[in-house]
Chains A and B, each alone.
Chain A
Amino acid sequence: MIKVTNLSKTFISHTKEPGLKGSLKALIKREKKSKLALKSVDLEIQQGEIIGLIGANGAGKTTLVKILSGIVHPTSGEATVLGFKPWERHNEYRRQMSLIMGQKAQVWWDLPAMDSFILLKEIYQIPEKIFTDNVEFLAETLMVKNHLTTQVRKLSLGERMKIELMAALLHRPKVIFLDEPTIGLDLSAQRAVREFIKSYQKEFKPITILTSHYMEDIKELCPRIVIMKEGEFVYDGTLSQIQRLLGEEKSLSVTTKEKKFTISVPRSELSKKTAELFSTNEVLDLNIQDPSIEDIIESIMRNGMTNR
């Protein structure tokens, strides 16, 4: 289980004015800037759960994943994963955890995947039989059997991602952090990766935290979502709950002579707002529908739950 209490993280960086003058000035004196990437967040995830962590760029998703995977230390607060403080980096914890980064290769670039797997087998102390079975199962499910002896750098992006997934799951982790696993993949590769994660989750029931900008990933894989905005959780619940909660709104797509735009209107004000639109604009087309989950989430990410 994952338990996070009052977790905060502040990053310190240096600022520099643009241009040559700024560069010269920075040689003598640099301005420090601190950014509160996580603001006292609380979270609990049970074994077997998969949650989708979503938010705009810089919302704090990756910072949370970095802390829970033990890469960075928090500034304050507590977090335990499987009973361990991740940043203490106990080998016993690291043997049960995996982090997959869509934008960062973890397998060795210049070697065939199988060479990396053999090294990982030793690092994670995976017994021979389990290792062979896992490689067989994962390679077959991900359809990469033919690529195991090719240098990783020579594989396509989709194939590389599948190899990364294999490498991360060889030791059957109990906790998996998936940081944008489908980024940059074409539609069929995205679907394949999603299907694989779904079947893996069903079979082995790890705790999985998925961050993704693709709503399709979230809709397909995560019954529970956590929406982050500027380092805080603005929503923690199920997808269906969010739709019910915000289902009191209608989405109006309007086309006038001058422009096209979409607005959200409370159901109770629908006729009033529509009349207002017709009286103030030369409306060419009007489409009234329930807002899509993407619209709702985008709106929450922009405005939070209360200011919508």
Chain B
Amino acid sequence: MNWWRFVVANEFRKILAFRSDFWVTFIGQTVVMVLIARALWQSIFEANGTEVMEGFTLPMMTLYYIIVPLANKIMTGENVGFLSREIYDGSFNRYLIYPISFFQYKILTYLTHSVFFSVQLILIFCVFNLIVGHGLSVELLINLFFGIFIFLCAACVYCMLAMSVELISLWADNVWSLMVMIRFFVFFFGGSYLPLDFFPSWANALLKFTPFPHLISLPIRTTMGLATTTEIVTGLGSLFVWGIIFTMTAKKMWAAGEHRYNGVGI
């Protein structure tokens, strides 16, 4: 299994191969998102004449929206089409020729991106806390550690969900729009666009039975120190169950669809 290490190292090299892209992703996107969220929520808080909304103060809301773009990236790892695009253009052939499991290879490359974005999150989270004067207390670092752990678990689960859907490309050539739609659902019901605390209670009760809140909202709340121990334990349990369901689905999809693969693109 030594090749795992080299796949990860190569994937990191690929990420770092483009300097400008690296810096734009690292700083540019976060700064823009924070400025927009800060301005938007400041005006919402002012318009409501309140300092706390659904348990969130303005600095907390700002931190939430600092974490959100990186949370989305950690969870979604590689871009939409990381498998379907390769099936479509035939570059998928290489995984069938090399004496390794393509599942393992793709999960590894996917998670390498997630780890890379996690490092970004750690740096930005620490810088934010230093700037606002919270410092880096032990409690804060423990929350961050558990948050990152849940983020990576969520990334594994989403990777298997994405793989199940992307494998549909063995039947239908293009699954791009389907993936974008699923992504929208996950972001919306996961709390990327609006914290789930702003959703009605009946919606939150229903969402608990889906994987969505555990993919984004739970790790963000854990990182911010808002999640209770019960919430974390049940959330992780739910992620585990969904992980098994999506893994089995992906395996079944591959078993059923691999006969249809025709290696177009050679």
Interface residues of A (CB under 8 A from B): 11, 62, 65-66, 69-73, 89, 91-92, 94-95, 97-99, 101, 103-106, 108, 110-111, 115-116, 118-120, 122-124, 151, 179
Contacts and interface: CB of A to CB of B under 8 A. Distances in A.
Given A71-B96, A124-B99, A11 B266 contact: no
Interface stretch (B7-15, B41-49, B120-128, B246-254): B7-15
B14 A111 contact: yes
Interface in B48-103: 90-91, 93-94, 96-100
Contact of B2 (A91, A99, A115, A122): A122
Interface string B1-43: 0110111001001100110000000000000000000000000
Contact of A71 (B14, B17, B261): B261
A119 B7 contact: yes
Contacts of A91: 99-100
Interface string B223-266: 00000000000000000000000000000000000110111011
Contacts of A94: 97-99
A72 B99 contact: no
B10 A123 contact: no
> Mostly helix, strand, loop or mixed at chain A's interface?
mixed
6 contacts: A70-B97, A73-B258, A103-B265, A111-B17, A123-B99, A179-B266
Nearest to A11: B262
B14 A110 contact: yes
Interface of B: 2-3, 5-7, 10, 13-14, 17-18, 90-91, 93-94, 96-100, 258-259, 261-263, 265-266
Contacts of B13: 111, 115
Given A66-B262, A72-B262, A123-B98, 11 more contacts: A65-B266, A66-B266, A70-B96, A71-B266, A72-B263, A92-B99, A95-B99, A99-B97, A108-B10, A119-B7, A151-B17
A208 B10 CA distance: 30
Nearest to B15: A110
A106 B94 CA distance: 6
Nearest to B4: A122
Contact of A72 (B91, B94, B98, B261): B261
Nearest to B1: A122
Contacts of B18: 110
A261 B44 CA distance: 83
A103 B266 contact: yes
Contacts of B17: 110-111, 151
A95 B98 CA distance: 7
Contact of B90 (A65, A70, A104, A123): A104
A60 B5 CA distance: 39
Contacts of A104: 90-91, 93, 265-266
Contacts of A123: 3, 6, 98-100
B248 to A, nearest CB: 21
A85 to B, nearest CB: 14
Count chain A CB atoms within 10 A of each CB in B14, B93, B265 and give the residue with the most.
B93
B8 to A, nearest CB: 10
Nearest to B3: A122
Closest 7 CB pairs of A and B: A122-B3, A94-B99, A91-B99, A71-B263, A122-B6, A119-B6, A110-B17
A62 B266 contact: yes
A71 B93 contact: yes
A122 B93 CA distance: 19
A179 B266 CA distance: 8
Contacts of B262: 11, 66, 72
A99 B96 CA distance: 11
A92 B265 CA distance: 26
